[in-house]
Amino acid sequence: MHLPELNPPENCPSCGATFKGKYCHKCGEKRVSAKDFHLRKYAQTLAEHFTHFDSKALRSLRALVSKPGFLTAEFVAGRRNLYLKPLQLFLLLNLAFFLFFGDNDVFSPKLKWVYHSESESKIWSGERLKDLTDAYAAREQIAVETAIKTIDAKSAGLTKVLLYLFVPLLGTLFFALFFRQNPYFLCHLIFATHWFAFLLLLLMVGGTLIVLLFQIKGMVLLTAFLVLLLPVHLFATRYFYGGHWAWLALKTLVFFAGFSVLYLLYRDFILFLTLRLLLDFPGL
C-alpha cells in the first residue's frame, strides 16, 4: 500500500536531510503529508497557481512597458520571484501574437513585396525567390499571382512559430555592442528575450491602435513602429548597460541596421522554408 504520511515527516524522503520549513533546504523536495491529498487543497493550489501566474504576468507586462530594461536588470540581480521568467514572458506573448493578432503583423514575409519590388527587397535572395516562384507556378500550372498568394498564406503561421530564432541572433548583436559593459553572453540573451517580448507587445497593441486610428500599412506602419521603438530601445540599453547618451544613440543606429539585415534574412529564410516544407518544392 502506498499511502501518504499522516503527519509532515521530520526528514526529507528524497535525501534524508532534516526538514526546516516547507521545503528541503538541501534538495528542494516539498514536505508533504496526508492533508496535501485532500481535494480542497488541490483546488486551492490550482487557484493559487492561476492567480499567481496572472499577477506575475500582469506585473511583468506592466514593467515591460513602463520601465524599459528593468526586467532584465531584476533577473540578473536575482530578484526573480515577482515576475515571469524571460522565456515564459516571451512564449506568452508569442502565443497571443500567434492566436489573436495575425493580420497587422509586419513580420509576415510577403512574397508579393519581394516579387514585385525592383531593388529594395532583392538585396539577399530576391532573384532566387522570384525564379522559384515562377517555377512553382509552372509546376502547379497556376498564375504567378495565385502562386504568390498561396505561398504568402502558407508562410504566415511559420513566421510566428519561428520568431524565437531572432532572440539568439539579437543576443549576439547586443553582445557585440556591449561586451565591455557586460561580458556574460547569457545576460545579453535575456536582454534580447525581453527586447523581443516588448516588440511583440508593441506589434499587437500598438499595431492594432495605429491601424485603427490612422489606417496605415506596409512601410509607413513599419516607420511608425520604429518611431515608437527607438526611444524605448535607447532607454532600455541606458538602464541595463549604462553609458553616455551619444554612444548609446550610435549603438542604437548600429543595432537597428543589424536588425534590418536580420529581418530581411528571416523573411527570405521563411519563404524558402515555406516552399521547401509546406509546399514540397525543392527550394533550398
Chain residues in the site for Zn ion (CB under 5 A):
12, 14-15, 17, 24, 26-27, 29
Pull the grid cell for residue 91: 512564449
The distance of Cα 18 from the centroid of its chain, to the nearest Å, equals 42
CB closer to Zn ion, 32 vs 216: 32
Minimum Å gap between C-beta 26 and Zn ion is 5
CB closer to Zn ion, 17 vs 58: 17
Answer for the pair 10, 18: CB distance below 8 angstroms, yes or no: yes
| Residue 87, CA distances (Å) to 58, 71, 92, 98, 194 in order | 15, 12, 8, 16, 8
CB closer to Zn ion, 12 vs 114: 12
Minimum Å gap between C-beta 32 and Zn ion is 12
Report the amino acid identity of residue 112: K
CB closer to Zn ion, 21 vs 78: 21
Minimum Å gap between C-beta 16 and Zn ion is 7
Minimum Å gap between C-beta 36 and Zn ion is 16
CB closer to Zn ion, 29 vs 36: 29
Pull the grid cell for residue 115: 516579387
Minimum Å gap between C-beta 42 and Zn ion is 23
